[in-house]
Structure 1
């Protein structure tokens, strides 16, 4: 349902007249989508304009497909409120996650206009991992990012896709044993069906020697389409630099984007600034679920 992979890009060729026509059509489509959103009883009361733009761009400007993606997104959110709605970036569960792991959107965009995010352990003790609470924290960071500019230097530019980097340093089979299957299934389903950005690549770095055992656990939950996007970097970080500019990576990864501590501080500041938004039911809760037709859940069968 959501844009996973693919090589399509929005057509930007043409002269000033064609560009102006596209901009007017985009404005008209977004205006109609906003009105549709407000009148749709399957959706919350409010949506941030930037998030609506992301849904629209994810579906390459197809209004009907955008509407389908939006409905799936909020249906999944309300089906799993413990992951997407009942949350607070300052509560004890969130603090525990952010104390032992980093969930960091990296500054800027790649030459292909992709946004890059990094996920890594700060503390390798497996008992510190609480999969459901950690997944909730991941979606809080994502939801903050989706309502903030992708590139501060060019705030009007939206990313053309998402690149995720998972640093597996310190990952053991004890960590894998602490995965909650229902949470893993919900996370992957949301990523595949409802994410408001196009997933372009997943890079696994610092892979352990027992990588095949880890993959065997999670692969049954991942679609073939998504699995093809995963690249395993087993030798060194050099192979990652072929896909992600070093300038975008933290200093600890041989990059020039500042230290992990600096990026962590920025991310936490953004979460605090958006706390009211993250916890506002008007943006997330569908109140009239009892009026949905029997076909509303067809996407999850």
Structure 2
């Protein structure tokens, strides 16, 4: 559905190009998003509210196909509610989140690639494996991505949406002790959500600073990664130069030879975004699917 690649079809964007930016595409977009919002609000399988920008991302991810967008949205919230400890019961300022952000960076990088892809970087700040708590760290990852999905990709042009997602995982400092601390149920939930429910198309996963024992790490985690997702992974074993072939150097942090500012500055911006969106992240109206009798108020009591 979402996730890896996806078929290319004609979309509102294509119409807009054909019409030289005319109103036909705008009208279609507005009409389809209006239809999706009405459907969303009346659907007992979904929460009460959705941010307009997030709804647009779902729609774009499915290349402007309304029915496929509906399927993706339902899968997204079904998985969220199946794993509430990862997606609903959360607070970016609680102790678990603080511990994650103290030892690791989860950073959306500014700008878009020439292909209009959004890039995110994940790396350790502290290499102590006993500071890794996989489930709590995964919850923090989804908090950062949920904030990003309601934040414009290009502040100078809020109407521009990314055409895909590129993830960079820095394996510097990774040991087999880190791998042994993975929680299999969390890893499965993460991969399933990434492949089936992400509101953006996953284009590539780059693993940089790979250790010499990479084959051992891959042998442990590969059984839990779908073939579709695994095909998107590129392992950079020699230097950062091979990464620059896929991600513009100026988009990367200074510590990676880029021009996007320091890790510290990017970290500060990410934490500010989390704080600004704390109420949104913790508001059940945006995430929790209530039982039908609760959603319909007291009407169910007539049938007792």
Q: How far apart, CA to CA, are the structure 2 residues paired with 1:261 and 1:152?
A: 21
Q: How does 1:92-131 map to 2 (within 5 A)?
A: 92-131=95-134
Partners of 2:142 and 2:154 in 1: CA distance: 20
Counterpart position of 2:18: 14
SS at match of 2:50: coil
Whether the 8 Å CA contact 2:3–2:194 is kept in 1: the answer is: no
Normalised by the size of structure 1, how large is the TM-score? 0.94
Equivalent in the alignment of 1:198: 201
Aligned equivalent of 1:27:
30
Q: Compute the displacement of 1:8 (Å).
A: 2.2
Structure 2 counterpart SS, 1:186:
helix
Shift of the 289–228 alpha-carbon distance from structure 1 to 2, 3 Å rule, reads farther
Counterpart for residue 232 of structure 2: 229
Q: In the alignment, what sits opposite 2:297?
A: none
Q: Specify whether residues 261 and 111 from structure 1 end up closer, same or farther in structure 2 by C-alpha distance, changes over 3 A only.
A: same
The 5-angstrom pairing of residues 32-51 of structure 1 reads: 32-51=35-54
From 282, 286, 295, the counterpart of 1:283 = 286
Q: Structure 2: how far apart are the matches of 1:251 and 1:258?
A: 6
Aligned to 1:70: 73
C-alpha distance 162-213 of structure 1, shift in aligned 2 (>3 A) = same
What is the CA distance between 1:3 and its match in structure 2?
A: 4.1
Where structure 1 has 5 or more consecutive residues not aligned to the other structure, the ranges are 292-301
Secondary structure of the corresponding residue to residue 268 of structure 2: helix
Report the TM-score, using the length of structure 2 for normalisation.
Answer: 0.93
Distance in 2, Cα, partners of 1:94 & 1:289: 32
Whether the 8 Å CA contact 1:3–1:59 is kept in 2: the answer is no
Q: Which runs of 5+ in 2 are unaligned?
A: 295-304
The size of the alignment, in residue pairs, is: 290
Task: Look up the match of 1:81.
Answer: 84
Alignment of 1:46-65 (within 5 A): 46-65=49-68
Three-state SS of the structure 1 residue aligned to 2:102 is helix
Q: Deviation per CA, 1:221-265, whole angstroms, max 9, x where unpaired? A: 111111111000000000000000011000000000000000000
User: Which of 161, 168, 180 is the equivalent residue of 2:164?
Assistant: 161
Equivalent residue, structure 2, for 1:148: 151
1:86-134 CA-to-partner distances (Å, cap 9, x unmatched) read 0000000000000000000000000000000000000000000000000
